[in-house]
Amino acid sequence: MAMQCSSFKFDLVSTEDHARRGEFHTRHGSVETPVFMPVGTQATVKAVSPDMLKGLGARIILSNTYHLHMRPGEKLIASLGGLHTFMAWNGPILTDSGGYQAFSLAKLMKITDEGLEFSSHLDGSRHFLTPEKAIEIQEDLGADIMMCLDECVAYPSTREYVNASVQRTGLWARRSLAARRGSSALFGIVQGGVYPDLRVRSAHEISSEAFDGIAIGGLSVGEGHDLMMDVLDSTMPHLPQDRPRYLMGVGTPKDIVEAVARGIDMFDCVLPTRNARNGMLFTRKGRITVKQARYRQDPNPPDEDCRCYTCRNFSLAYLRHLYMSREILGSVLSTIHNLYFYLELMSDIRHSIGEKNFDELRKQIKEIYND
Amino acid sequence: MAMQCSSFKFDLVSTEDHARRGEFHTRHGSVETPVFMPVGTQATVKAVSPDMLKGLGARIILSNTYHLHMRPGEKLIASLGGLHTFMAWNGPILTDSGGYQAFSLAKLMKITDEGLEFSSHLDGSRHFLTPEKAIEIQEDLGADIMMCLDECVAYPSTREYVNASVQRTGLWARRSLAARRGSSALFGIVQGGVYPDLRVRSAHEISSEAFDGIAIGGLSVGEGHDLMMDVLDSTMPHLPQDRPRYLMGVGTPKDIVEAVARGIDMFDCVLPTRNARNGMLFTRKGRITVKQARYRQDPNPPDEDCRCYTCRNFSLAYLRHLYMSREILGSVLSTIHNLYFYLELMSDIRHSIGEKNFDELRKQIKEIYND
C-alpha cells in the first residue's frame, strides 16, 4: 500500500551560524521556530487553561500518548471529536509515541522487535505497544505531529545494547511510516545513546526515510549538559536542512540556547510547569525559590522587567504566602510566569537569529544559567 | 474619645415584599445587593485569580482574619500596602473577626468576657483574641468592611448558654465600635441561636448601635434550612431598613433565595468554591457530580445555557477526566463555573426584584434545589 503524505511543511527563514529561524505549517496553524512546546501530559498543561496558554504565546503543545491511552482512552477522545476539541486547544498538538513512559513510568515487562509489553502505573493492567499501535492511538487522538515508537535506552547503557536499540528503532521507524493512514505529520527519532558513531548511523537511517521532521531522542536522561552537547555536535551535521529538528524532553535555558546554536528547532520539557508547582521560578536574573525566607516581605515581583500577569500584579511575598499555604493559585501564577519566561526566551531567540544577535543572547543566558 | 465614622453608605433601590434591591458604597467601589461574596480565606479565592474573579462578575470578596493573622500575619500584609495590594484585588473586601475559626478550626482554650484564648491549628501556638484586637487586625489588613468579634455558639446549645453569649456579643459589639480608628465600615452581629426572644433582644441591641450594617451570625451550623428560616422570620422585623443585612456563611441556592425573600442583602459561603474542588457543579438544572460514570462520554457542557468560560469550552467528559486525573485545571474550571452560577443567580435576583419578578425566580430555584 502507498504511504500517506502529510500536509506538514517547513520553511527555513534565516540562519546565524548553525542556529536556524524557521516556520512549520500544520492543519491547525503555523508555528515559528525555534519553538518551545508546553507539556500537556493528561490533555491539560497543568494549572493553566487553553486561553491562558494562548495569552502566554504558546503556539503548539505536546501531549502524552501513554497517559491518554491509559485514561480516558483514545477511543473515547476520538468519539468526542479528538484531542483538540476535548481539551479546547485549537492550535497544533504534537503527541509522543508512549514509548518513553512505558520505559520510565510503567513497569516494563518485555521488549522484543514486535513491541513493548508493560503494566499500567495506574492499575497494573497489561498492555502491548507496537509501532503500528502507537500510530493508531495518535491518529485517534488527532495529533498534528506524531512520533514514532522508539527504544529509549537508559544512561549509561553498553554499546552492544545501544547498538541493538538503534537497529530496533530503525525497524520501528519504517513500520510507523507504513502504518500511517491519515494526514498527520510523522517525525522519526534518532537514537544511539552517547556513542557518536551509533548516533551518526541512526541519523542517516532516519533521515533517509520520508519523515516530516527528525527528533533526537534518548537525551536529558542523566548524561548531563556537556555530554548532551557532544552528542548534538556529532549528530547534527548528519541531519537534513529541509526538515525541523526536535530535541525531545529538553531542557534548561542553557540546554535550549546551546541546542539552538547547534541547529535544533523544537523543544519540549516539563521544567517550567513542574518547577512552578514546586515553587521554582525562572527569571532573566536567575532562578528564584519562592519558599526561601528572604522573600517573606519582598514587595517586588519575581522579575520587574517581566510583563507576565504574575509579575505585573503580585509580589514575591504573596507568591511565597501562596506556596506556604499550598494554595492552587500559587501553582497557577507560577506556571503562568515560567511558561511566559520560556516562551519569551524562544521569541527572543527567533528575533535574535533574524537580526544576527543570537550569539549575544546565548552568552547572556549562559551567564545567568551556567549550572 | 470620639468614635470614628466610616465612609460606608447604603441605598435601598427597590423592594418586592420583604426582598430588597440596594447598593452600598465603600472606599473600593460600590456593590449592588443582594450580593454574594466569594470566600478568599487565605488572601486568595481558591483556584482563581483576581482577574478571573472580576470577569465572573464578583464585586466584593470575603477574607478570613484568623487565617491571615496566623499566616502570613497582618503586620506583614500592612507593610506590603494592605490586603488589596497583597492579593491584587482592587474591589471591596469584607473581613470576618476571626472568632468563628477560633471556635471551629483552632483549639479553643478559654472564653471570658475579655476574649478568646486558643491555640493555632497550624503550629499550636497560643493566641488571645479580644474585640479590640480583632478590629486592630482588620484595620491592619485594610478591610473595607470589618466584623465585630462575637461568640458563635454551637447548635444545639442550651438557652442559658446562648443567653450569656448574646450578652457577651453585645458587650463585644460596643467595645468593637469604640476600638475603631480608621474609616473602615463595621458591622455588628446578631446572635441568639434558635431562640426567637434572644434573637429579638440581640437584634434590638445591635441595631441600636452605630453599625454600618447588621449581620446575622450563628446560623448554617447544623440547624437546617427550616429552622434557619424560622430564625430569620423572628429576627428580620427587628432590623433597621436603612442598613444592609448580612447572613453570614450562607448558603445553598435555596437558602439564598429564601433569605432574600426575608430581606437579607449579603451572603458569603464556601459552597461554590469547595464543592467545585470536590467535583460538584451547580447548574440551573440541578447539581452535577462530575465523577459519575454517566458523564464518561458526555459531550455536553455542565449547562448548555450557561455562558461561563467552562461551559462555553468544555464537556462533562473532559471535566470528569480532569477530576479523575486530579488535574489542577479541573478545580480551576469547576470553580469558574460554580462562582459564575452563584454570581449570575444574584444578578438575576437583583433584576427580578427591580421588575417585581423575584417570587417567580424564587419558586424556580426552590423547585430545582428543594433539598
In this structure, are residues B116 and B100 in contact, taking their beta carbons and an 8 Å threshold?
A: no
Closest residue of B to A70, CA-based? B325
What element of type H or E holds A131? Answer: helix A131-141
Rounded Cα–Cα distance for residues A334 and B186 (Å)? 36
Interface of A with B in 234-263 (CB under 8 A): none
* Section A155-180 average pLDDT: 97
Rounded Cα–Cα distance for residues A189 and A207 (Å)? 9
In this structure, are residues B56 and B49 in contact, taking their beta carbons and an 8 Å threshold?
A: no
SS3 B282: strand
- How many residue contacts between A and B have a Cβ separation below 8 Å? 102
* Section A77-99 average pLDDT: 97
Mutation choice for A interface testing from B318, B324, B331, B334 by most A CBs within 10 A: B318
- What the block records as the C-alpha cell of B340 is 459564575
Interchain CB contact of B42 with A (< 8 Å) = yes
How many whole angstroms from its chain centre is CA A121? 22
Rounded Cα–Cα distance for residues B371 and B326 (Å)? 29
Exposed, middle or buried, B307 (CB in 10 Å: 0-12/13-18/19+)? exposed
Residues of B noted as catalytic: 96, 268
Rounded Cα–Cα distance for residues B260 and B266 (Å)? 9
Rounded Cα–Cα distance for residues A348 and B101 (Å)? 50
Interface of A with B in 304-333 (CB under 8 A): 309, 313-315, 317-318, 320-322, 324-325, 327-329, 331-333
Q: Could B299 and A80 be called an inter-chain contact, meaning their C-beta atoms sit closer than 8 Å?
A: yes
Q: Could B329 and A81 be called an inter-chain contact, meaning their C-beta atoms sit closer than 8 Å?
A: no
pLDDT digits (tens, 9 = 90+) for B94-119: 999 999 999 889 898 899 999 999 99
- Give me the amino acid identity at A51: D
Kindly report the CATH class assigned to B23-269.
alpha beta
First to last CA, chain B: 51
Mean pLDDT rounded to a whole number for chain A: 96
User: Which residue is it, cell 522519526?
Assistant: A188
Interchain CB contact of B44 with A (< 8 Å) = yes
- What the block records as the C-alpha cell of B321 is 477526566
Chain B residues close to A82, C-beta within 8 Å: none
Kindly report the CATH class assigned to A11-269.
alpha beta
- Give the per-residue pLDDT at B49: 98
A59 has pLDDT over 50? yes
Interchain CB contact of B106 with A (< 8 Å) = no
Q: Could B313 and A86 be called an inter-chain contact, meaning their C-beta atoms sit closer than 8 Å?
A: no
**Å between A257 CA and nearest CA of chain B:** 31
pLDDT digits (tens, 9 = 90+) for A312-326: 999 999 999 999 999
- What the block records as the C-alpha cell of A363 is 552568552
Does the N-terminal peptide bond of residue A72 adopt cis geometry, omega within 30 degrees of 0?
A: yes
A111 has pLDDT over 50? yes
- What the block records as the C-alpha cell of A299 is 514587595
Mean pLDDT rounded to a whole number for chain B: 96
Closest in B86, B329, B332 to A318, CB measured = B86
Catalytic pick from A113, A268, A348, A371?
A268
Under 8 Å CB-to-CB from B345, ≥6 apart: which residues?
Answer: B36, B253, B256, B365
**Would you tell me how many other CB atoms lie within 10 Å of the CB of residue A83?**
24
In this structure, are residues A366 and A254 in contact, taking their beta carbons and an 8 Å threshold?
A: yes
**Å between A348 CA and nearest CA of chain B:** 27
Chain A residues close to B333, C-beta within 8 Å: 49
Whether the complex's predicted ipTM surpasses the cut of 0.90: yes
Taking only the tens of pLDDT, chain B with its 371 residues reads: 445 567 899 999 999 999 999 999 999 999 999 999 999 999 999 999 999 999 999 999 999 999 999 999 999 999 999 999 999 999 999 999 999 999 889 898 899 999 999 999 999 999 999 999 999 999 999 999 999 999 989 999 999 999 999 999 999 999 999 999 999 999 999 999 999 999 999 999 999 999 999 999 999 999 999 999 999 999 999 999 999 999 999 999 999 999 999 999 999 999 999 999 999 999 999 999 999 999 999 999 999 999 999 999 999 999 999 999 999 999 999 999 999 999 999 999 999 998 999 999 999 999 999 87
**Å between B242 CA and nearest CA of chain A:** 37
Q: Which of A362, A345, A342 is nearest to A258 (CA)?
A: A362
Q: Which neighbouring-strand residues pair with B63?
A: B95
Rounded Cα–Cα distance for residues B74 and B68 (Å)? 6
- What the block records as the C-alpha cell of B28 is 473600593
- Give me the amino acid identity at B45: V
Q: Could A315 and B86 be called an inter-chain contact, meaning their C-beta atoms sit closer than 8 Å?
A: yes
> In chain B, where are the structural domains located?
23-269, 270-371
Query: Residue B221, CB half-sphere, CA atoms under 13 Å: how many?
Result: 21
